[in-house]
Amino acid sequence: MTRQAVVLLSGGLDSATTLAVALSEGYSAHTLSFDYGQRHRIELKRAAAVSRSLGAAGHKIVSVGLRSIGGSALTSETAVPKADAQAPVGEGIPVTYVPARNTVFLSLVLAYAETLGTGDIFIGVNALDYSGYPDCRPEYIEAFKKMANLATKEAVEGRAPVKIHTPLISMTKKEIIETGMRLGVDYSITLSCYDPSPDGAPCGLCDSCRLRAKGFREAGIDDPALGMSDR
């Protein structure tokens, strides 16, 4: 029987690569995306396109009212910080941090995985070329796993122990891109920007765009998404 897994998919570069890794390891991978009141719903279209393109077993979108909770530039009208495209990403936890976002997302992935009878969960967190969010660090992921193994009926009764797969966690952005290219990820349909135009063109100036540009530059590849939009 094919092993089932659930992959948290935003439609960005990291989660698309994570899906490709899960599939390359032989998992039947179900993707889950969140409609959480993010500034740009175009993410969800891209997540669906990435799922289809790579051959996920299915794609589900779950709504969660993070906008009604607030506290982040990504779920409010607060401006997303921009900097010169070549500037390094700043120190500290930025205003694009969404309170407890990965905990909320992983909890819902955990619930969905349980209904599929699996505990295998993939998330594209990365603790090297990243924005400094606390819920991307290995010690956080390990603590989530321990909690999850005490939380669900399937784990507690021994049928589906929870394992959080983080294939990208110690890769540089360059290595992530090289891995994805090798596994056939079409990066032209991925969207990493925190503040894209309504038609899906990246701003080029937010932390996420700058980390992505640095990765492609170091990999010696042109970003195929540049100049792309949904027009």
Residues that bind a copy of itself (CB under 8 A): 60-66, 68-71, 93, 97-104, 106-108, 110-112, 114-115, 133-135, 137, 139-140, 143-144, 146-148, 150-153, 155-157
Residue in the block written with tokens 């990965």: 102
Q: CA 148 to CA 77: how far, in whole Å? A: 34
Nearer to a copy of itself, 92 or 220 (CB): 92
Closest of 179, 183, 192 to residue 225, by C-alpha = 192
Q: CA 31 to CA 29: how far, in whole Å? A: 6
Nearer to a copy of itself, 24 or 107 (CB): 107
Smallest distance, a copy of itself to C-beta of residue 48, A: 15
β-pairing verdict for 28-35 and 120-122: unpaired
Nearer to a copy of itself, 17 or 96 (CB): 96
Smallest distance, a copy of itself to C-beta of residue 112, A: 5
Nearer to a copy of itself, 101 or 210 (CB): 101
Tell me, what amino acid is at 107?
S
Handedness of CA 69, 146, 7, 227 (dihedral sign): positive
Tell me, what amino acid is at 199?
D
Smallest distance, a copy of itself to C-beta of residue 210, A: 21
Nearer to a copy of itself, 75 or 179 (CB): 75
Tell me, what amino acid is at 225?
A
Q: CA 145 to CA 162: how far, in whole Å? A: 6
Smallest distance, a copy of itself to C-beta of residue 90, A: 14
Smallest distance, a copy of itself to C-beta of residue 141, A: 9
Give buried/exposed letters for 191-214 (b at 16+ CB in 10 A, else e).
Answer: bbbbbbeeebbbbbbbbbbbbbbb
Smallest distance, a copy of itself to C-beta of residue 227, A: 35
Nearer to a copy of itself, 138 or 227 (CB): 138
